[in-house]
Amino acid sequence: MIRAAELPDSVHRKLCNGMGPRGGLLFKLLWGLLLVIKVGRYFRVASNDHDVRCYAGGTEADRKAVDRAFLSDMLDVADQFNGWRHRYARFFALRTYELTSEFSDDIGAWVYRERPLTVGQLISEG
């Protein structure tokens, strides 16, 4: 799957916004708490990768695979922590996955296409 780090800075800035800006108030508060406890910054890479993959788009099966990869990336981050930080990061990852998989097509985050765009196509569009 495409990673945001593979893209030039100009394309990366255009497609990636992390988690905060598109979420509602509760989502922004959860994100803010993650930043305060030094967990949220670690989810930024997973979030940006998800943004790029959503823009690359594809079929419904592709969307489900992208959302599952997002969850996997966030759980990998959560596993770096211990105690209450681990529990909170895991809760946030699971809740984010639930919201993303349920609503991403409703808020316009996913682009339906016959096939996902390649890295080269993303760069040429940027």
Question: Domain boundaries in the chain?
Answer: 8-125
The angle formed by the CA atoms of residues 115, 59 and 50, to the nearest 5 degrees, is 90
Q: What is the per-residue pLDDT across 73-100, written as a single tens digit (0 to 9) for each?
A: 999 999 999 999 899 889 989 988 888 8
Q: For residue 34, what pLDDT is reported?
A: 67
The percent of residues in the chain predicted with pLDDT above 70, rounded, is 80
For the cut 70, the answer to whether the pLDDT of residue 39 exceeds it is no
What does the DSSP 8-state code read for residue 24?
-
Q: For residue 44, what pLDDT is reported?
A: 87
18: left (phi over 0), alpha (psi -120 to 50) or beta: left
For the cut 80, the answer to whether the pLDDT of residue 116 exceeds it is yes
Cα 22 from Cα 103, distance rounded (Å): 12
For the cut 80, the answer to whether the pLDDT of residue 37 exceeds it is no
With a CB cutoff of 8 Å and minimum separation 6, the contacts of 85 are: 37, 39
Q: For residue 106, what pLDDT is reported?
A: 55
Mean pLDDT of the chain: 85
**Assigned CATH for 8-125:** 1.20.90
